[in-house]
Amino acid sequence: MKIGDSYSNYGEDLTKPWGYMRHIFWPRCHVTGTVTTNGHVVDAKGLGMYVHCVQGMKPHHAAGKWNFGNFQGKNISAVMMEFTTPPSYGSQVVNIGAIVNEDGTLVAAMTENAAIHKTIQHDEETGWDAPTSLELSWMGQTKDGVEVTALTDSDLKNMVERVDVLAEIPAMIKAFIAGIAGTRPFIYQVLPYSTVDANRSIVILLP
């Protein structure tokens, strides 16, 4: 699944952009293999989502924040990616998403979507207001013009991991980067469950 030519271009002359991002999604695929963590082997067989992403620019110039949603259910899969450009690019919200059937056929690819942080809680360690509940909504049309809407409303209490993207950088350099570029990137990855046969994996990236 891709929207248009899959590129988000940056620059005054869009025929010769100084920076770009590209995203192509495979919303529903079958995964096999194992994951080894702390000496334990976990069977990773099941449904998954694949995304091919190219970031042709510095990350803090690309966006100020991101939301990623990945729903894998018995009958459908739904994915969403939303990013907000930095103030220098007008804090514009860009959202792309898709819904596919259980056989992998595309129902609709859409851009009129929304990721809403319904409730938040201040994270003292990071300084960010992290979402504690999230609403994802998809709205678009099939190729035949049929209206398609979908909605999830997730409690984000079951956090899997909070990742400090700059954790491996020395503290002095990390502080310098935060002071000069205003970059303090953290990833909040959450795994809420809706029913026995469906789950949602939500990732929130804050700079």
Does residue 10 fall inside a structural domain? no
Does residue 149 fall inside a structural domain? yes
What does the pLDDT look like over 173-186, one tens digit per residue?
Answer: 766 666 655 567 88
What does the pLDDT look like over 113-169, one tens digit per residue?
Answer: 999 999 999 999 888 898 999 888 898 888 888 888 888 888 888 888 888 887 777
Does residue 116 fall inside a structural domain? yes
Range of the domain at 67: 60-206
Q: What is the DSSP string of 130-179?
A: EEEEEEEEEEEE-TT--EEEEEEEEE---EEEEEETTTTS-HHHHHHHHH
Average pLDDT over residues 46-70: 89
Does residue 15 fall inside a structural domain? no
CA atoms within a 13 Å half-sphere pointing along the CA-CB vector of 63: 20
Stronger pLDDT, 80 or 151, i.e. the higher one: 80
Does residue 148 fall inside a structural domain? yes
Rounded Cα distance between 192 and 183, Å, is 28
Does residue 90 fall inside a structural domain? yes
Give one word for 145, left, alpha or beta, with left for phi > 0 and alpha for psi -120 to 50: left
The candidate with the shortest Cα–Cα distance to 140, out of 99, 177, 91, is: 99
Does residue 7 fall inside a structural domain? no
Does residue 100 fall inside a structural domain? yes
**pLDDT for residue 193 is more than 80:** no
CATH for 179: 2.40.370.10
- In the chain, the number of structural domains is 1
Q: In the structure encoding, which two tokens stand for residue 63, read together? A: 């966006």
